[in-house]
């Protein structure tokens, strides 16, 4: 148990001489000044950088092409699967050259039938003849 303490004192003395300070300064720095990096919120600059680097690693062009184009998923489904916000997935898809749509291309068949029966055309579901 005494050996690691002697090793630290020897290293601290070498570091103190290199830095031109006393050994007490080095000992204080080792014992008191080491703090783990805080977990920054995504709205701060460091948190945003961490979020964007994670997004760049996960939301690659190949992954987005596979999910959005080939599997036909929408932005909301990909965001739920990956844990990123819809905005982040949308921006990364646009950067990858994919133009994601947020609306369904065709309304469900039951909505078209309901609009035809009720005569309600305010919803925007066109009935094709």
pLDDT tens for each residue of 101-129: 655 555 555 665 666 666 555 555 555 55
Domain residue limits at 79: 45-95
Q: Say if residue 90 is in the same domain as residue 49.
A: yes
State the Cα–Cα distance between residues 30 and 27, nearest whole angstrom. 5
Q: Where are the beta strands (DSSP E) in 51-101?
A: none
How many independent structural domains does the chain possess?
Answer: 2
State the Cα–Cα distance between residues 16 and 20, nearest whole angstrom. 6
State the Cα–Cα distance between residues 72 and 67, nearest whole angstrom. 6
pTM of the complete model beyond 0.75: no
Average pLDDT over residues 12-37: 81
State the Cα–Cα distance between residues 43 and 16, nearest whole angstrom. 40
- 92, 53 in Cβ contact below 8 A? no
Cα–Cα–Cα angle for 33, 26, 8, nearest 5°?
A: 105
Q: Say if residue 27 is in the same domain as residue 50.
A: no
Q: Say if residue 49 is in the same domain as residue 91.
A: yes
């Amino acid at each position: 148990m005494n050996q690691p303490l002697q090793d630290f004192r020897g290293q601290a003395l070498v570091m103190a001489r290199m830095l031109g300070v006393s050994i007490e300064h080095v000992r204080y720095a080792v014992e008191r000044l080491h703090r783990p990096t805080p977990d920054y919120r995504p709205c701060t600059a460091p948190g945003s950088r961490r979020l964007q680097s994670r997004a760049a690693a996960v939301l690659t062009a190949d992954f987005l092409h596979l999910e959005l184009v080939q599997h036909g998923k929408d932005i909301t489904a990909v965001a739920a699967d990956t844990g990123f916000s819809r905005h982040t997935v949308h921006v990364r898809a646009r950067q990858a050259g994919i133009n994601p749509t947020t609306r369904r291309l065709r309304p469900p068949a039951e909505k078209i039938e309901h609009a035809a029966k009720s005569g309600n055309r305010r919803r925007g579901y066109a009935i094709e003849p």
